[in-house]
Amino acid sequence: MNTNPLLSVWDTPYGLPPFDKIRPEHYAPAFEAAMAEHRAEVDAIAANPEPPTFQNTVAALDRAGQAFGRVAGVFYNLTASETSDALQAAERELMPRIAAHMSWLSLHEGVFRRVDALYGKRAELGLGAEELRLLERVRLDYVMEGALLEGAARARYAAIAEELAGLFTTFSQSVLGDEAAFRLELATEADRAGLPDFVLDAAKSVASEKGLDGYVINLSPSLVDPFLTYSTRRDLREKVWRAFKARGESCPERDTRPVAERIIRLRAELARLMGYETFADYALVDRMAKKPSAVDELLMRVWEPAKARALEEQKDLEAIAAREGFSGPLAGWDWHFYAEKLRQERYSLDEAELKPYFQLDRMTDAMFDAAGRLYGVGFKEVRGVPLYHPDARLYEVLDPAGGLVGVFIADSFARPTKRGGAWMSDFRSQSRNRPGGLLYPLVINNNNFAKASAGKPTLLSLDDLRTLFHEFGHGLHGLLSNVTYNRLSGTNVLRDFVELPSQINEHWALTPEMLKKHAVHAVTGKPIGDDLIALIKKSEHFNQGFLTVAYTSCALVDMSIHGLKDPEKLDLAAFEAAECARLGVPEAVGMRHRLPQFRHLFSDNGYAAGYYVYMWAEVLDADGFEAFEASGDAFNPELAAKFKRYVLSAGNTLDPAEAYRAFRGRDPDVKALLRGRGLV
């Protein structure tokens, strides 16, 4: 029996990784053994003396690498969710080796010849729709990963992939290091002026995690945003805002700018190797948008009205600031503060008054309830199962007959050992092409909510609530997958389609049915009233200029930097400043993610030349939810069944445009996005 817990049989509930036995030193030997096994399996497919068939080549490839996938699933999840110095050291060592292994696989000539031969006669093979889709996807994967390259170009492609893997790790660890290093201690009553109890509770929890008494502000957005909203200490707001914006460039040993510059240069070189003018051209080949001009057209359609709205909002904020005796230009650390005052004045809606209704546990029940009403699944918490952190909670996902659909893990709170942001991942994807193994998925949602102090409920802002439902939309995409092949499972869809399930799921967070049932005040126990629900609805377009500019500027700068033909002399800071000036980004708004901290772009290739996908998917989600609204029932069972069948359960078995038409009955209307943001 193998003594390495990553390689031994996982005789655990639900086939979970044996978290309590895994140590950082286990990963290197586990990867070595798993990669050797994977190479042997792939070599055997290529060496098969039988002529290539779908089963002995394409389906066999989809099955190969089970051990590698298990080890990698644990490694990727824990380096993001619960890292340590030892695990970060292992990550720096292993990521280039993993990248080399993946390049070996994608450049395997023997396997590609078999796949290519099948692709050339695909019309004669009598394949079903899912099998044909898998063959097409696998062949395209190989082509986009360099399989058609020869000689020195093949070797250079592999070298670039290996170097990029190391750079991605350096970038991510540097930003995490900056976030972990910052702390603002609120030592006096004056330091805490203006902060409501829920902010102080979260700040007390952060202090406790750091082994301190009192109150500490860290750089989690779930704490930064409310601090900027309520603190009357303008000097401290500035300090927090500047630290948040300076992540990635706050100290020389963690300066990400040269790392990002090198990544951009390598991506441009890779694109040229592949025969494309820019990395953006290369990245969009396998997206719904297809080409940068389509992305630019969408973003610019939103950009000008959003910028105009943001400038109007700024004037309104400056007016209320002037009435309170503030003189001077409005700065970035002032926006949230005066926006909250304006919201209270204009809508009589106070975030501090609203937040006690959004208890995390209650809102988790709400998202499960909504999923049950829409898709017929139930959720049952199971305690006592060893997980990787005490904050993580596990739920069985059940069908109406009580059968196990999947397992869902919720990891909700920020901590120094966890990267920022929010994301969905899995430890095991759904697949029926896994002989002898468990076929249902193990899905995880990570959020970074500010945890309340002991004995008090964690309260969510409206943005937090949307994030909770957003990530659970991804979770449902993984949990409700019902396909045969791993490559087509769950969220393995085109990048600008993957955000549709997450973004449309946000709409159910604020439906009156869910709020009246689950939004109960943390102190009084009373359910939220119709008056507050009406105010939430009335104010839904408030501050949309700011939010849209903060996001869209990031998407535009992403497309610009990846549209460079020759970035050899790129200076990241100068480029960012020049692009913001060219676009006319209002200084008081700025980019939500500045380039030195932009994990979406520089932690891997997934969202490079792809940050636009949230807006592309918003066209689909806004148009799609309008169908529910037009039906008069936000939980319309016929529409929900179609969405489940053609989107959530279908994975990548359907072309995304066809999948959307099957659900909606027509192509999406971009005007729904503009209506949803109040920009028309």
Catalytic (active-site) positions: 471
Handedness of CA 285, 288, 293, 295 (dihedral sign): negative
CA distance 615 to 455: 39
Q: Match 């039906």 to its residue by tokens.
A: 631
CA distance 449 to 471: 13
Angstrom CA distances, 140 to 153, 174, 285, stand at 18, 34, 10
Cβ neighbours of residue 397 closer than 8 Å, sequence gap 6 or more: 377, 378, 379, 404, 405, 406, 407, 408, 479
Contact 215, 185 (CB under 8 A): yes
Beta-bridged to residue 444, according to DSSP, are 409, 425
Contact 489, 651 (CB under 8 A): yes
| CA triple 608-613-616, angle to 5 deg | 150
Say which DSSP state 529 is in. P
Structure tokens at 284: 């969009």
Q: What is the dihedral of CA 8, 10, 16, 21, to 10 degrees?
A: -50
Strands 404-413 and 442-449, by their bridges, are parallel
Structure tokens at 427: 């430890």
Three-class DSSP category at 251: coil
Using alpha carbons, select from 666, 588, 592 the residue that is nearest to residue 626: 666
Using alpha carbons, select from 84, 105, 109 the residue that is nearest to residue 27: 84
Angstrom CA distances, 467 to 218, 221, 460, 515, 544, stand at 19, 12, 10, 16, 16
Task: Give residue 665's region: left, alpha or beta (phi > 0; psi -120 to 50).
Answer: left
Using alpha carbons, select from 443, 453, 431 the residue that is nearest to residue 478: 443
Angstrom CA distances, 184 to 211, 331, 363, 600, stand at 14, 20, 30, 26
Task: Report phi then psi at 384, rounded to 5.
Answer: 90, 0
Three-class DSSP category at 237: helix
Q: How far apart are the first and last CA of the chain?
A: 66
